[in-house]
Structure 1
């Protein structure tokens, strides 16, 4: 019998904060992580064209890592059928990559929100550099409690940002509130594939949750239930784990190649704890997807339009 088979299983509880750093508020942890780890992404992942802090989408037409990052934007935009002139809320906009892409390629009017003042400044600078400041704006805001009026947006977009919500249901309820009737919620993110894990599996998962300041992962069935409870209809889910696995593998190989540098720089105290955590997450995340402890999925759901009464119909 293997070691993992003799361990007491860890049962995943929805909405629980599984980070080791319980003494640090979740929002503070997220902001500090992105502040300290931006240059890891800048030097090994994104470029000035895609501005992407997310996994790429790979299919038979994908030729490069950079193209895969842009193709993830295209996949979400096609899934939500975003049209020119529609108002999009980019919930967790990072440094503005998806917001700018939507303005440039779909003619959307985009509002991006982030918790990070550093990301806000970079997103605004990137939009100005790309000449889309008239179509894209950025604000500091919590996507679970936004400052926007009811029915303000045609689309709420969450690309690898919803995982940071302690309560996924809170995010979904707020998305429903700010969407217009007929509006769409589209999200792509990592999801837990089962509720129980061996202690060895959980050790690897915790490395990644801690390293990326993520409180928990939802199961697809729980996320779907939250969507239904909020009032969404036409709920569609697609597992795209196979299409994102090349990105996970690339991240793992990059970490392997830079392992000696990480050890030396950490020994010299030239790497912060957040940067080292980011590195070890990059080293371990591939195993999570490869061994199907977690998957990568795409959700799209619609806020229904009010039904017309018979009186209104005959009038």
Structure 2
């Protein structure tokens, strides 16, 4: 019998895809182009690894899979935000459209998904065509599901969304694990406040650093994450509250730390 240690390792489907190398980012000027390049190159890999939802899974029971856990996270945000069915939503940093389609299919929403990556738009449109038997309507939306929901996708730098969407357009702006990539977070909150209707809601899930970290923790723990995950300086949850309020938004629900419940994703 051969030595088991010499047996070839079982291949993972993701091994066929290239993934960008790690390198520290040195300036905001080049950061967004590197983020675009990262998702142009790595989105197929992420799809093979995580499926249609490129975000954490929220594990509520030992029987949860990554797929049910990812849906749990969407449902948690729906529960917290009390987002009404059949409303208009801007899904910022929509990735390959997993959440965009979920909100349309299961909640009857009309959802516009935007991402900085043209390749992600292509994947999102392909996955939508595979799920929907209907063609685009005049507004570029594709009907999906049985509750009247519709989706469309646009390649767009979210920091320029004020030039593409009129004021008072959406009932909700939804952003899940994307805002931490943005160099100018105050601009995002101002833009979100502008495109939201008067009673509209901003729904956020994101990565945060802890409050009151010392310099050693910042250098040893936070800086490698910021560099490796293409994140400008990470914010705390209280930072986001402050930015929201400065943009004229009212905080309707306090921050919820689900770190322990999503850790299994890693």
TM-score tier (shorter):
0.7 to 0.9
Q: How many angstroms does 1:201 deviate by?
A: 5.0
Cα distance in 2 between the residues matched to 1:214 and 1:109: 30
Cα distance in 1 between the residues matched to 2:174 and 2:63: 23
2:138 alignment counterpart: none
Cα distance in 2 between the residues matched to 1:21 and 1:83: 42
Report the secondary structure of 2:206's partner residue. Answer: strand
**1:206 and 2:226 aligned:** no
Q: Cα distance 1:138–1:23, how it changes in 2: closer, same or farther (>3 A)?
A: closer
1:162 alignment counterpart: 179
Q: Deviations over 1:14-61 (max 9, x none)?
A: xxxxx5343861221111111222243233322xxxx01111111137
Cα distance in 2 between the residues matched to 1:232 and 1:184: 9
What pairs with 1:1-315 in structure 2 (closer than 5 Å)?
19-22=24-27, 25-46=30-51, 51-60=52-61, 63-131=64-132, 133-134=142-143, 135-146=150-161, 147-199=164-216, 202-236=219-253, 237-247=255-265, 251=266
Give the TM-score of the pair, scaled to structure 1. 0.67
Q: Cα distance 1:162–1:62, how it changes in 2: closer, same or farther (>3 A)?
A: farther
Unaligned runs of 5+ residues in structure 1 are 1-18, 252-315
Equivalent residue pairs, number: 227
RMSD across aligned positions (CA):
2.1
Report the secondary structure of 1:238's partner residue. Answer: coil
Q: How many angstroms does 1:200 deviate by?
A: 6.0
Report the secondary structure of 1:183's partner residue. Answer: strand
- The answer to which structure, 1 or 2, has the higher relative contact order (CA under 8 A, 6+ apart) is 1
Q: How many angstroms does 1:145 deviate by?
A: 2.4
Report the secondary structure of 1:192's partner residue. Answer: coil
Q: How many angstroms does 1:83 deviate by?
A: 2.3
Q: Deviations over 1:198-239 (max 9, x none)?
A: 446523422222222111211111111111111112432212
Q: Cα distance 1:171–1:212, how it changes in 2: closer, same or farther (>3 A)?
A: same
Report the secondary structure of 2:112's partner residue. Answer: strand
**8 Å contact 1:158–1:186 — kept in the other structure?**
yes
